[in-house]
Amino acid sequence: MLLCLRDVTKTYAGTETPVLRGVSLDLDRGGMLALTGESGSGKSTLLHLIGGLDTADRGVVAVDGTDLTPLDDAGRAALRRGTVGVIFQQFNLIPSLTVAANIAFQARLAGRQDAARDRMLAERLGLSDHLHKYPEQLSGGQQQRVAIARTLAPQPALVLADEPTGNLDEGTADTVMALLRDLVAETGAGLILVTHSERLAAMLPSRLHLRAGVLA
């Protein structure tokens, strides 16, 4: 079992209604899951709890055998460096680094930088001719490919993708999503995709729907 959630609840300060209400789910190693739901249903919150970007009020969140509940900020950061990779909609590239340096950044932090793997990812994602460029010199689709390469370079056990193609046109989104799915599958990692798109959700073998903080 790669991911285990049991009775996870989250309420934000200043609100009375929980964002998540007793969510439980399992994901096996190599499993791929699309998480859909309306805005405000709790999708991103759930992803942030799994990635250690936030903490649950109650329940168990365990990733690769590690219970996130007792971890401090440093422990959760270490988890994201080596075990969990997160791809954001806004790319979050480092503007002062070249494409090559951005791709290598996360793997270097994790102590897993492999130049040959970086080159392979760049080639598969169509970035080989752009390694010397800076993020501002790239299109949105190219920037998202760099973000994917950076996340996959350390070979995380679990990849979390929060609306990763939300800023891209439909054709580019389909291409980028197919590349992400195939590259994750080749490593045997798990994948959870948060998306509003029924089209993109259909590209993965499993789907769960969040409605008002409850899985349906």
Q: Print pLDDT tens along the chain (216 aa).
A: 999 999 999 999 888 899 999 999 999 999 999 999 998 899 999 999 999 999 999 999 999 999 998 999 999 999 998 899 999 888 899 999 999 999 999 999 999 999 999 999 999 999 999 999 999 999 999 999 999 999 999 999 999 999 988 888 899 899 999 999 999 999 999 999 999 899 999 999 999 999 999 998
- Cα 109 to Cα 71, 81, 103, 105: the distances in Å are 19, 7, 11, 6
**Complete domains list, the chain, with CATH:** 3-215 (3.40.50.300)
Contact status, residue 151 vs residue 86, Cβ threshold 8 Å: yes
User: Under 8 Å CB-to-CB from 118, ≥6 apart: which residues?
Assistant: 100, 103, 104, 107, 149, 153
